[in-house]
Homo-oligomer: A and B are copies of this chain.
Amino acid sequence: MADRGAPPTLGTVMKSIRSRNGWTLKEMSAKSGIPVSTLSKVEHDRLTLSYDKLQQLSQRLNIRMSDLFAEDDEDTAPRVTGRRSIGTIDQAVRVTTDNYDYHYLCTDLRQKRMIPIITRIRAHSAREFGDLVRHQGEEFIFVLEGEVEIHTEFYDPVALKTGQGIYLDSSMGHAYVVAEGYEEALVLGVCSSADDGLMDSLMSLHG
């Protein structure tokens, strides 16, 4: 049944969690370590919880954060099948760092499983690049122009010509630099997981 207008508050969610498990406020209080009075107030929307309490709740009650915040429940949210986004480099969201020049594609599409990024590489040596980069997830890099040298934590450096690609575990330290004899190189990268890029350490380390 359609998710009728009722905007699910934290109180609603908490109450449903509690009754679903047949707990009294006292029991829930014991399990969560949050006083009965507070729980009561939350359930009546006279109060919400702050970060620490939410975390405490999620941990002690063994529930996921996404359960506390009303996110699409496959029961209530009619899965909109059919989204798409066209990505061109000049419509891309551009982010510049010392080593890279990122062009995030299709940023209008949220919550995607993969992040496509066109990247211009500037560094010409591992030394110039600096520390290897690590982040969550996996990535696939495909060379569009020039030639790229892939440095990783556990392998010897390897060169990729235009038209070649590499797939790697992003949590393994890695760095892409322009190969000998080239000024620049352009690659298409696709990163798995968490929306909106995972290039955190890139930016913080080399921004």
Report A's interface with B, CB cutoff 8 A. Answer: 1-2, 10, 16-17, 19-22, 48-52, 54-55, 58, 62-69, 71, 73, 75-89, 95-97, 105-106, 109-114, 116, 134-138, 140, 142, 144, 150, 152-155, 158, 160, 163-172, 188, 190, 192-201, 203-204, 207
Contact between A55 and B76, CB atoms less than 8 A apart: no
Residues of B within 8 A of A114 (CB): 114, 138, 140, 167, 190, 192
Per CB-CB distance, the 9 closest pairs between chain A and chain B, nearest first, are A84-B168, A20-B200, A48-B51, A82-B172, A50-B50, A76-B193, A113-B192, A19-B204, A106-B167
Complex Cα distance, B64 from A76, in Å, reads: 15
Contact between B166 and A20, CB atoms less than 8 A apart: no
Residues of B within 8 A of A190 (CB): 114, 116, 140, 190
Whether A160 contacts B76 in the complex (CB less than 8 A), given A52-B48, A140-B190, A190-B190, comes out as: no
